[in-house]
Structures are given as C-alpha cells and as structure tokens.
C-alpha cells in the first residue's frame, strides 16, 4: 500500500522523470495502437471478375485456361469456384496506361480473382447473388457458346439469361437508393468455341443476340405479372424500369446500355483450339480486356 502511495505521489509530482515518462508513453501508445489495428486490416480485396453464362458455354474451361495456362477437361459445374491468378507479363494493365512501351523498369503484374459460377438453370442464383452483392466486382465475363447460337433453342436460352443479367445491372444503376451512383460494371461478351466449324463469328454473335434481346424484352413487357407482385415496396410496376435499354426504341442495341453504365464488348475466343501466334497465348483477348479494366 505504501509503495503504491509513493509511486502515485511520484507520478503526479512535477519531476522531470515523471514528465519524460508521460511524454514517451503518450506519444508511443497511439502509434502502437495504429500499427496493431492496421496490421489486421491489411487483407485487401482483390479485384474480382465474374464468369457467367448458360450451361455448356465453357466457363469452367475458361477459368482453368486463364488460371493455369492450359485448359483442363471439365464437366457441368455444381458449385462456384474461385481462382486467383496474375495478369500475364505480356498484358498491359490499366495502371500502365501511360507507361511507354520501352519502359524497362520491373513492375509486378496485379493479381485478380476469377469467380466461376454454374450455368444450369437451377443454380443461377449463385451468379445472381454475386451480382447483387458485389465485393470489389470489377467486370463481368458473359461466356456464350457460339456454335449453339445458330439453333433457335440455344439462342433463346442465352438471350434470356443475358436479358436477366443486363436488366439487373440496369436496375442497379438507375434505382440506387442514394444519389451516388454505384460503380459501373463493364461486361465482356466472350463468344467461346470459335474453333467449332458451325460457330458464328463474334460480330454475328453480337447482332444475333441484339435481335433476340429485342424480342425477349418485347414479350417480357407483355407477359403475365409475377405472383410476387406485392412484395417489393419500390413499386416495381413501373414499365419503364423493366424495359432494357432505351424506352420505346424499336430494336435493341448494346450501345443503348451505355447510358446505364454498362459497357459491353464482344470478343471471340476458343479454349481448346491451338494458340494463335507465338507472342500471345490462348485467351489473350480476355486478358487484354481484364487488364484494361483492373
């Protein structure tokens, strides 16, 4: 007890040593707390790119190609899969936009996370939930099977899924609850399986899908009301909000989505064909788009 009293007396007295101790303590304690807190919070989220598309398009195959360099054989996916990979050295990322080509300083390529989701109708909720609760989602790769688009059934299925996805993005953009609009997510339409004989080239894929999306939005607007019509409080019965693209326009074009912040590009690729050229490996079209949008 006596020792405690003595110590307290010393601590509250105006002696030099007490002042010094207090000074040191008060200066170092915040620094220690800061390093402790910020060391824990270092886990930064990697930019994520979501792979989605109808079943059989080649999403899982594309994932293995981008992550490993060579595609593995795959079957229908039942569960989503993530993979972390680094941009290949030949791709320029958006950080290096203003660097000269001859710049020889070493730079480490950014790493990204790829999220592959199942394409089967019953399991599309994985893809949709990743869209509605995005965590650092930087872009979307919508993979389609170019060969199956020449048949009516395949075209319909692809167009309906694409319609759902684009409508979701549009609603996210136009109906934000705050005045700050959420970040726009660019979309890359990957026309896969270009090596198959009956596949359509990328330009034709784009125009066919535009035409089909126009038809789909026509029938969806005239279709039956949903049974869950009283559920949402936002008053979803507004016709304009569920019309994709430009309201009242005749045909649908992907350029109409640009005003809603959805930038759509189309590339053709093939995961199982031979690589083109020595300088670029397979999947380089995807890499260049990913690099530009990281």
Partner 1 sequence: MLDGFEILTTSGIVLWRRHYTPISSSLIDSLVRDVFIEEKQKPGGGENGAPSYKKDRYTLRWTSAKDVGLVFVAVYQSLLHLSWIESLLTAVKGLFIKAYGQELKAAHTLKVNTAQWDPTFDALVNRLDTGSTRRQSDTIDSEGPTELTPPSSSAGDDADEPPPVPAPLFRKPAIPIKRDDLVGDSTSTDATPIPTPDTSRPATPGHAPSHLLTAKGGPGKASRRSRKAQTFNASAPASSGDESSPGHNLKGGAKTAAKGKRRWDVDGMAIEGDDDGVLDYSAPATPGPDSTERELDVAEVNTSQMGSRTGKGQFVLKDLDDEVDAILASSSKPQQRSNATDDTTGSGLLASASSRLTSLFRNVVGGKTLTKADLQLPLQQMQTHLLSKNVAPEAANRLCQAVETDLLDQKTANYTSIESTIRDSMTKALTRMLTPTSSLDLLREVTSITSGQGAPARPYVISIVGVNGVGKSTNLSKIAFFLLQNHFRVLVVAGDTFRSGAVEQLRVHVRNLSALSQREGVGKVELFEKGYGKDAATVARDAVAFATNKGAQPPGGSGQMLYDVVLIDTAGRRHNDSRLMSSLTKFGQLANPDKVFMVGEALVGTDSVAQARNFAKEFVDTKGKLRNNGVGMDGFIISKCDTVGDMVGTLVSMVHATGIPVVFLGVGQHYGDLRGLNVGWAVDKLMK
Least separation in angstroms between CB 261 and partner 1: 26
d(CA 170, CA 245): 8
Helix (H, G, I), strand (E, B) or coil at 52: strand
**Would you count residue 276 as binding partner 1 (CB under 8 A)?**
no
Least separation in angstroms between CB 214 and partner 1: 12
**Would you count residue 152 as binding partner 1 (CB under 8 A)?**
yes
* Phi and psi torsions of 188, nearest 5°: -115, 120
Least separation in angstroms between CB 56 and partner 1: 8
Site size toward partner 1 (CB under 8 A) is: 45
| Closest to partner 1 by CB, 56 or 134 | 56
**Would you count residue 291 as binding partner 1 (CB under 8 A)?**
no
Distances (CA, A) of 155 to 149, 150, 220: 5, 7, 16
**Would you count residue 196 as binding partner 1 (CB under 8 A)?**
no
Among 142, 143, 149, 157, binds partner 1 (CB under 8 A): 157
Least separation in angstroms between CB 230 and partner 1: 9
Tokens 């059934």, located at residue: 153
Which of the stretches 75-83, 165-173, 195-203, 236-244 binds partner 1 when contact is defined by CB under 8 A? 75-83
**Would you count residue 209 as binding partner 1 (CB under 8 A)?**
no
> Per the structure block, which two tokens stand in for 166?
């684009």
Among 74, 146, 162, 158, smallest CA distance to 116 is for 74
Alpha helices (H) along 13-54 = 16-40
Radius of gyration for the alpha carbons in the chain, expressed in angstroms and rounded: 27
Among 93, 182, 89, smallest CA distance to 133 is for 182
Residues at the site binding partner 1, with contacts judged by CB under 8 A:
55-56, 60, 63-64, 67-68, 72-84, 116, 118, 120-125, 152, 156-157, 160, 215-216, 219-220, 222-229, 231
């Amino acid at each position: 007890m006596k020792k405690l009293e003595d110590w307290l007396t010393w601590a509250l007295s105006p002696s030099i040593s007490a002042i010094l101790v207090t000074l040191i303590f008060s200066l170092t304690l915040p620094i220690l707390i800061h390093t402790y807190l910020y060391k824990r919070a270092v886990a930064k989220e990697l930019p994520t790119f979501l792979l989605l598309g109808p079943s059989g398009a080649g999403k899982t195959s594309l994932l293995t190609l981008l992550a490993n360099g060579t595609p593995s054989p795959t079957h229908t996916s039942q569960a989503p899969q993530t993979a972390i990979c680094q941009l290949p050295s030949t791709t320029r990322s958006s950080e290096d936009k203003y660097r000269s080509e001859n710049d020889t300083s070493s730079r480490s390529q950014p790493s990204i996370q790829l999220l592959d989701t199942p394409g089967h109708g019953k399991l599309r909720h994985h893809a949709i939930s990743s869209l509605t609760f995005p965590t650092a989602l930087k872009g979307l790769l919508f993979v389609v099977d170019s060969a199956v688009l020449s048949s009516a059934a395949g075209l319909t299925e692809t167009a309906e899924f694409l319609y759902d996805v684009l409508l979701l993005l549009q609603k996210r953009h136009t109906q934000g609850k705050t005045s700050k609009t959420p970040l726009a997510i660019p979309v890359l339409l990957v026309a896969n399986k270009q090596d198959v004989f009956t596949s359509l080239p990328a330009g034709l894929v784009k125009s066919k899908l535009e035409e089909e999306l126009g038809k789909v939005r026509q029938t969806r607007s005239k279709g039956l009301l949903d049974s869950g019509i009283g559920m949402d409080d936002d008053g979803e019965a507004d016709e304009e909000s569920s019309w994709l693209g430009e309201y009242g326009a005749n045909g649908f074009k992907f350029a109409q989505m640009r005003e809603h912040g959805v930038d759509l590009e189309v590339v053709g690729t093939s995961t199982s064909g031979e690589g083109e050229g020595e300088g670029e490996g397979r999947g380089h079209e995807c890499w260049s788009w990913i690099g530009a949008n990281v």
